[in-house]
Chain A
Amino acid sequence: MKKGTEKDIDCLPNYKEPKFLGEKEKYPLILLPYQPLMVLENGSQNYPWAQEIFLPMAGVGWETLVEINSETAKTLKLRDGQLVWVESPFKKVKAKVKFSEGVHPGVVAIPSGQGHYSYGKWQKGIGVNPNEIIGVDYDTISGQAAFFNTRVKVYRA
């Protein structure tokens, strides 16, 4: 064994602080672009029967909803169903807000799968794509693409 390497190996599980893109003071919330059940591959929203049941938890389709905890929304003075801007250090998107109790108070969850510029009659121009506002970064430990480390702020449109 090479001298000194035994110090670098973590034999026990340990904690490392995650790194986020954006300052915490300016962008208080963390963006979580998640994949809903009806999204299988690129283009699966081009079936109108699948498009109209896109978000079964909210009971709607044909759009993207910004899901936010009602406690957080109260501090941001938002109303349910209002149009909001979600702004990251890189870009911002506009969508309808939906209060959801299943979301962590520090997180904004936006479903991916909508927001196509083309690629079919039924999905073109519907909703927004949360991957547009996330930054390009890599996970510091595994080196994989990091999708969930962008900080955002939400305000009324």
Chain B
Amino acid sequence: MPRWGMVIDLDKCVGCQACSTACKAENNVPYGSPDDQRMRRDIYWNKVIAATSGKYPRVNTELIPMPCMHCDHAPCVTVCPAKATYRREDGIIVQDFRKCIGCKYCIVACPYGARSFNSREQKEEEYHRPDLPPDRNVWGQWAFPTRTHGVVEKCTFCFHRIDQGIKEGKKIGKEVVPACVEDCPAEARKFGDLDDINSEVSRLLSSRGWIRLREELDTKCKVYYLPK
């Protein structure tokens, strides 16, 4: 069984936020409003954060894209009382909206702030998606999810794309990648199988030093950063 992971090259990331917007377009994540942002209620599955250090003449800003880290020892899976969030066999942590009771315990438990709570009903709108067939019934498990309010949401590594690609016999990591990886103009993100030594992510991880965020918590997350 593969273990899907992502490698983000912080040297190449310029903070253009194409990944944030691509994720919202792919997964139909609703936009916020000024009031939502003031109350920290806006939903991001993938946010680029900036960490600045130093004083004026010597300042350094790190732009860090923050998807869900899909930890092997995920704190959110441990704490979920309804078993709504679980780890698939290929290592992707998914959230079952039908089981979620909206207790937000996983938001508190997540050390990376990757989860958001959907606190309002989303309007039923037609989105222009020419890549999908016109009949909704053949879209499959995930594509363009309609959602109810009162559940916790998170990044899914675009598992609908991966599942569809495996079904069609395509190469995951080369032909089929998550939406954020596909849209990155600098090609700072790479997606692939961490257990396969011939995949591009394994090659990148062996070629340079890498870091994982909050290594001390021993979450064994599968999003690796190549530092500057």
Chain A positions within 8 Å of B, measured between CB atoms, are: 37-38, 48-53, 56-63, 69, 71, 100-105, 126
Contact = CB atoms under 8 A, between A and B. Distances in A.
B55 interface: yes
Given A37-B16, A49-B24, A56-B15, A102 B52 contact: yes
Chain B interface residue number, banded: 20 to 34
A110 to B, nearest CB: 18
Nearest to A48: B31
B33 A62 contact: yes
B49 A49 contact: no
B52 A101 contact: yes
B169 interface: no
A103 B49 CA distance: 19
Contacts of B42: 52
B49 A63 contact: no
Interface string B9-44: 000001111001100110000011110010000100
A38 B11 CA distance: 20
Interface stretch (B56-64, B119-127, B149-157, B192-200): B56-64
B50 interface: yes
A100 B50 CA distance: 12
Contacts of B49: 59
B16 A62 contact: no
Given A48-B31, A49-B31, A62-B37, A105 B56 contact: yes
Given A53-B20, A53-B21, 15 more contacts: A38-B17, A48-B31, A48-B32, A49-B21, A50-B21, A52-B32, A53-B48, A56-B15, A56-B17, A57-B61, A62-B33, A101-B59, A102-B56, A105-B56, A126-B34
